Amino acid sequence: MIDIKLIREDKDLVKENIKKKFQDEKLPIVDEVYEMDKKVREVQTKCDNLKADKNKKSGEIGKLMKDKKIDEANAVKKEIEAIGNEIKELEEEQTTLQKEIKERMMVIPNIIDKSVPIGKDDTENVEVERFGEPVVPDYEIPYHADIINKLNGMDKDAAGRTSGEGFYYLLGDIARLHEAMLAYARDYMIDKGFTYAIPPFMIHSDVVTGVMSFPEMEAMMYKIEGEDLYLIGTSEHSMIGKFKDQILKKEDLPVRMTSYSPCFRKEGGSHGLEERGLYRVHQFEKQEMIVICEPEESMDYYEKMWRYTVEIFRNFDIPVRQLECCSGDLADLKVKSCDIEAWSPRQQKYFEVGSCSNLGDAQARRLGIRVKGEKGTYYLHTLNNTVVASPRGLIALIENNYQEDGSIKIPKVLQPYMGGKEKIEKK
């Protein structure tokens, strides 16, 4: 949610930003908010004047009573009562207007950074940099589900019986490799100075609407029937929500945390062959990172955060690239975002394994996350980034470390988490 001062002072800037995001249907909302806000301030001025008049008249009653002018005092009391009723009506009107303004402000997109490329959708995202040389071996790399099945590492049929499509059992060394990636990512982030956390896996609706837009919520979140609780789609939601309605101390900034959680999403399976595998599932696990910092520091942290993910995947012997998200691909709360994509030697293309976002003060404004400084109390900036999400990360690791004999080479950094094993092979 943007600061309403932007609409008061430069609504053309807000409209231009909407056009850059190809959401022209929202342009009239800016004018509606502008007029409503103007009306709120007019009502507030009228209320203030009436309250001053009411206070003045209240002061007259004592003098009239002292002078035994009872009838005049009673007449003034009736005037005060009438003024009180008018103030009540105006305050109710103001409350209604403010509610309508907030509802409209919630759908106006955040102001994107000047560096964001302009484009309609993810097909116009821009590759910025590659890390590691993409390799296609001279032997065939099977589909990841077939590799895992030959190693007795997955059972989707059983998961279908217990839970339906989009779920899976990971077994044996494959399950262990999955957890090794997450454990390494956890320890890597702790070594970078981030505080480790395991957050709640369910959150209230006011936290959900604080961290994401309503369309995102509807597309992603599972609601617990009969309760004001949602299963998290990423631990960023509960980690940022941890600071809801808090005024932080300057000496405690920046807040840097890394969190583990299972994640739950409505996401349906892709078509064809990919439905057999683990690309799109309803449940997965992730190591996440968040930063809450001073506004002037957020872009520096943004650059650091996505590079952490790159370094981790390179330590897994996986080539990756950074893809800058264009304006039309940015969720409404985001100022700037990029995807980290891993190389798939089987498909001979890159696919997304993580996303890093700077949300400016949008989440902080919605959730009331502030700091008290020399210039008063103000909103902080929030950022989030995927450290490692599995099974997407697991697929990338398996494909890039698959050997001709059907085994999987375990990267050196993961071997301590695998009891010293150097490869996974069929028993």
Any bridge partners for residue 355, and if so which? 339
Domain extent listing, the chain: 4-105, 122-424
Amino acid letter, 363: Q
Residues in CB range of 32: below 8 A, 6 or more apart = 104
pLDDT in tens, 332-377: 999 999 999 999 999 999 999 999 999 999 999 999 999 998 889 9
Q: Which CATH class is domain 4-105?
A: mainly alpha
Residue 306's pLDDT is what? 98
C-alpha to C-alpha distance for 92 and 88, rounded to whole angstroms: 6
CA distances from 36 to 2, 8, 97 (A): 16, 11, 6
Query: What average pLDDT does the chain have?
Result: 94
C-alpha to C-alpha distance for 17 and 11, rounded to whole angstroms: 10
The answer to whether 4-105 and 122-424 have equal CATH topology is: no
CA distances from 409 to 12, 131, 141, 342, 404 (A): 56, 20, 14, 17, 11
Say if CB 256 and CB 193 are below 8 A apart.
yes
What residues of the chain score a pLDDT lower than 50? 269-274
Q: Give pTM, 2 decimals.
A: 0.90
How would you write 215-267 as a 3-class SS string? HHHHHHCEECCCCCCEECCCHHHHHHHCCCCCEECHHHCCEEEEEEEEEECCC
Residue 272's pLDDT is what? 40
CA 368 and chain centroid, separation? 15
Residue 307's pLDDT is what? 98
Cα Dmax for the chain: 108
Tell me the two tokens of residue 80. 């005060």
DSSP state of 417: G
Task: Please tell me whether the peptide bond between 134 and the residue prior to it is cis, using omega within 30 degrees of 0.
Answer: no
CATH architecture group of domain 122-424 = 2-Layer Sandwich (3.30)
